[in-house]
Structure 1
Amino acid sequence: MFYACHAASVIKNSSVWYVDSACSNHMTSHESLLIDIDTNVTAKVKMGTGDLVQATGKGILVIETKYGPRHIKEVMLIPGLDENLLSVGQMIEHGYFLLFGDSIVEIYDDKSLKHLVTKVPMTGNKCFPLSLQYANAVAMKATIKETTWCWHRRYGHLNLPNLRMLHQKELVYGLSKIGDLEKVCQGCALGKSHKEAFDKERRGEQACH
């Protein structure tokens, strides 16, 4: 187990996440850090005290790295949680590679271990606290309007059923929930329309004149 903490010394800091091998899911109590929160979550989490706490949602954490934004998916929202936790097992499931040794953990996003995302030194109490820099997309989430139109255009006027499939099967990172379009897309209507064939007899008569 790579994570341990005494409740008496807890200082809440929304930017610090503990790399935790004993945690089955990423967890936080800070709703403002997450995007695309699914509130239809019925899971319960067993705390260190043995109490079961109901999760109120599951969302995506967007962080900034030297390789650009990275999306940490399936972060559970747990009210009252003192620390932010990054699950080692869940990071591995989502394609990250973690190397522990020499009082440090190195996190890579490729199997060749060439793309080092970050290094996390071990502290005196044998914790691995990681300070994250959040991407601007988190702060701008509340101002985005008509996201369905936006994704429809970005994917070359892809139809709504296929857009919803991309979202439901999580085939695209950061793809928000697809709603309904209240009006007809003019580009799609124009592209699907056809032009009547020019009458050959009339064309011959015009050529004679």
Structure 2
Amino acid sequence: MTGHKDWFSSLDESIKTKVKFTYDSFINAERIGKSQIQKKNGTTSTISNVLYVPRMKNNLISLGQLLERGYRINMEDKMLKIFNIKKIDLEGSTFK
């Protein structure tokens, strides 16, 4: 999920849904699409089924969905590392 509309390479405007957060609070997701991300080695990858949530101030990634797709995850030293089968695929800060 992201609030950065300009990060999308494509958006489906027909998809509208509500995202549930803690304490039964909800936020509206107005679109779903594909977003390009730049990896540590400078290449880009596409993440599919990214929700566009205009009111989001920070980005969220579903660790559960990544695990279901066969990725491995490591969190240490305030860093999140996402591995594909052979190498680190994505890396980013977990805290500001």
| Residue 69 (structure 1) shift | 1.8
CA distance in 2, matches of 1:68, 1:53: 32
Give the number of the structure whose residues are more often helix, by fraction: 1
What TM-score, normalized by structure 1, do the two folds share?
A: 0.39
What TM-score, normalized by structure 2, do the two folds share?
A: 0.75
Conservation of the 8 A alpha-carbon contact between 2:78 and 2:95: no
Conservation of the 8 A alpha-carbon contact between 1:55 and 1:77: yes
1:115 has 2:90 as partner: no
What is the aligned counterpart of 2:20 among 28, 38, 46? 46
Q: CA RMSD in A?
A: 2.6
Q: Which runs of 5+ in 2 are unaligned?
A: none
- Give the match's secondary structure for 1:44: strand
Going from structure 1 to structure 2, the CA distance change for 1:118 and 1:77 (only over 3 Å counts) comes to closer
CA distance in 2, matches of 1:93, 1:39: 27
> Larger relative contact order (C-alpha < 8 A, sep ≥ 6)?
2
Give the number of the structure whose residues are more often strand, by fraction: 2
1:70 has 2:45 as partner: yes
Match of 1:98 in 2: 73
Q: Which runs of 5+ in 1 are unaligned?
A: 1-26, 122-127, 131-209
| Residue 76 (structure 1) shift | 0.5
Deviation per residue, 1:4-29 (Å, 9 max, x gap): xxxxxxxxxxxxxxxxxxxxxxx111
| Residue 73 (structure 1) shift | 1.2
Conservation of the 8 A alpha-carbon contact between 1:57 and 1:77: yes
Going from structure 1 to structure 2, the CA distance change for 1:108 and 1:95 (only over 3 Å counts) comes to same
Identity of aligned residues (%): 25
